[in-house]
Structure 1
Amino acid sequence: MTVTIAQLPLPALRALADGDVAAARLATDVPLSDWLGTDDDCVSTWQRRAVQVAEDPEEAAWVTGVVLADGVPVGQAGFHEKPTEERTLEVGYKIDPDHRGRGLAKATLAFLLDRARATPEVDRVVASVGPWNTVSLHLVTSAGFVQVGEQIDEEDGLEHVFELNVS
């Protein structure tokens, strides 16, 4: 199984932010599942990313895209923003419930980490995970992330903050 992340053009991001998968399909050649435009968490992420890319087009290459497994859309993943001045990227990923339990989140995280390692401007990757999300907690710790603190996210509440040195 080959996992990749396909970035979306701004018109497709805007359409998904509106929950309009049909319009998003017209705006990109990236295969899209209905879940990407109907899941509340996905739509919320597309809304944030559409604003980011509209404000700074350089973000388009970094932010959330569509996870493709052998060309089939199975989730969304990417970085929260382009590399920061602190040489950091923060990962985010979500796999469609219909495709979970097949190692896709692990493969997606590995894809993101490979990209971070291949980027000279990046020294560390951050992952913020809710304490209730045992699957994701296991995933990041098994990938070598170490917990460095906690934070309160205005949408998700308490999160454990993990980081991984990739330089």
Structure 2
Amino acid sequence: MSGDQVTEAVRGCVTTLRAAADRDWTAVRAGSLEWDCHATAVHVADDLLAYAANLAGRARDAYVPFELRLDDGTGNDGLLHVIETTGALLAAAVNTAAPGVRAFHPYPFRSADREGFAAMGVAEVLLHTHDMAQGLGLAYTPPESLAESVLTWLFPHVQPGPEAWPTLLWATGRGELAGRPAVDNWRWHNNLVIPAERLTLTGLRPAAARDLRLGGDGGFTWLGGTPYEGTREAAGFLAKAYEAGVHRPEFGVFTLVRTEDGLAVGGIGFHGTPDPEGRVEIGYDLVPEARGHGYATEALRALTQWALARDDVHTITATVDPDNPASERVLARAGFHRADSEQDQTTREEHSTETGLRLYVYSG
């Protein structure tokens, strides 16, 4: 996601709505919204400007404290110009922001990166253009690629459908989708980021996971030029979970990004969601060039502490090959201990743990 998608979405919005610029937008309700079309168009421009301001200004705890206001007497043509302008501002803010920069957005984890702000801007434009076009009786279908981008960047919890645009409309309570219940309450999800001492654990989105699975870089610059094979394998599992509709972003995969230079050095994540007893398994790896510096221990501690602070996690497990003493030392330094015989037997029976692997446990 980049500013290019924001520009493309805004262009489609303005082109569509210009066909009804001579009408009174205040007299027409925007689809199923309670707002009229004029108020909805102002809302789109206001959101584009707010996202641009938060990202450019690196807002931390709240929106930058100002609000868009149209000059008295501004007509629909002028309002469309405002949408074009605020869209250009967001596109510029996205395209000039450094990788990894994050700024305030309230949900679900109180921040978003440049790709997240681009995706949110595109979502606002696509969905509210649909609302206004519906109210004004205009035909509107955005490019499928834009709808798919919004889904894979902001709706990781939503199983993709046969077509992206109808799926996005359904996911936001604007349409029906065969075989799925109606949606009356929804939120999009920016990715979770967990800070550590020298690393940032950056939640991997389905779009990035797909790219990694197919041999790409996932949008990261990797120390040594490429991720370790274990990270690609974990990304493949995430992509499959997303496609099956069972992915929970907070229990997915995280890329380990080194704070000092922004280079990705490895991956860490969960093998699934917590079981009914609050037990979840964790795994990790580093590119060879990053080993021996304590990064794995640091990341494991950070993710373990984050997980155990939740109400639905009580025990974290990890398995390691006996021929990998370095990984065992990482687990020990992070506070894990070898499972006793009862824990080992129970885990193997309930979770089909591979024979020959050693089980380590950390309990809150």
Of 228, 235, 246 in structure 2, the residue corresponding to residue 46 of structure 1 is 235
Is 1:165 the counterpart of 2:356? The answer is no
Letter in 1 for 2:209: L
Q: CA deviation at 1:126?
A: 0.3
Mapped to 2, the partners of 1:45 and 1:103 lie a distance apart of: 21
Shift of 1:5: 1.1
Q: Which residue of 1 aligns with 2:215?
A: 19
More strand by share: 1
Which ranges of structure 1 fall in alignment gaps of 5 or more residues? 26-30
Contiguous gaps of at least 5 residues in structure 2: 1-196
Q: Does 1:76 align with 2:272?
A: no
Contact 1:3 1:111 in 2 (8 A): no
Does structure 1 retain, via aligned residues, the 8 Å contact 2:298–2:334?
no
Three-state SS of the structure 2 residue aligned to 1:78 is strand
Q: Any conservation in 2 of the 1:126–1:163 contact (CA below 8 Å)?
A: yes
Kindly report which structure 2 residues correspond to 1:1-167, keeping only aligned pairs within 5 A, or say none.
Answer: 1-21=197-217, 24-25=218-219, 31-33=220-222, 34-36=225-227, 39-56=228-245, 58-70=247-259, 71-148=262-339, 149=344, 153=354, 158-166=356-364
Q: Amino acid of the residue matched to residue 103 of structure 1? A: G
> Counterparts of 1:95 and 1:101 in 2: how far apart (Å)?
10
Mapped partners of 1:78, 1:4: distance in 2: 13
Over the aligned positions, Cα root-mean-square deviation in angstroms equals: 2.0
Aligned mates of 1:5, 1:108 — CA distance in 2 = 7
Distance in 2, Cα, partners of 1:79 & 1:72: 22
For the 8 Å contact 1:32–1:66, the answer to whether it is kept is no
Give the structure with the larger helix fraction: 2
Once residues 32 and 118 of structure 1 are traced to their aligned partners in structure 2, the CA distance between those partners, rounded to angstroms, is 31
Task: Give the Cα–Cα distance (whole angstroms) in 1 for the partners of residues 221 and 277 of structure 2.
Answer: 34
Cα deviation digits, residues 56-92 of structure 1 (max 9, x gap)? 3542221112011203211011111222222012111
Secondary structure of residue in 2 paired with 1:51: helix
Q: Deviations over 1:115-145 (max 9, x none)?
A: 1121111111101111011011112123332
Q: 1:51 to 1:58 in 2, by over 3 A?
A: closer
Amino acid at match of 1:144: G
Q: Which moved more, 1:126-135 or 1:84-93?
A: 84-93
CA distance in 2, matches of 1:112, 1:10: 20
In structure 1, what is the Cα distance between the partners aligned to 2:245 and 2:306?
21
Quick check: which has more Rg, 1 or 2? 2
Give secondary structure in 2 for the equivalent of 1:115: helix
- Separation in 1 of the partners of 2:323 and 2:291? 17
Identity %: 23
What amino acid sits opposite 1:4 in the alignment? T
Would you say how many aligned residue pairs link Structure 1 and Structure 2? 154
Q: Which runs of 4+ in 1 moved over 4 A?
A: none
Identify the structure with bigger relative contact order (alpha carbons < 8 Å, sequence gap 6+). Answer: 1
- Work out whether residues 256 and 264 of structure 2, in 8 Å CA contact, stay in contact via their aligned partners in 1: yes
Question: Residue type matched to 1:15 in 2?
Answer: D
Taking structure 1 as the reference length, the TM-score comes to 0.82
CA distance in 2, matches of 1:69, 1:6: 10
1:64·1:92 contact (CA, 8 Å) conserved in 2?
no
Q: Is the 8 A contact 2:203 2:255 kept in 1?
A: yes
Query: Is the 8 Å Cα contact of residues 83 and 121 (structure 1) preserved in structure 2?
Result: yes
Aligned to 2:95: none
Scaled by the length of structure 2, what TM-score is found?
0.40
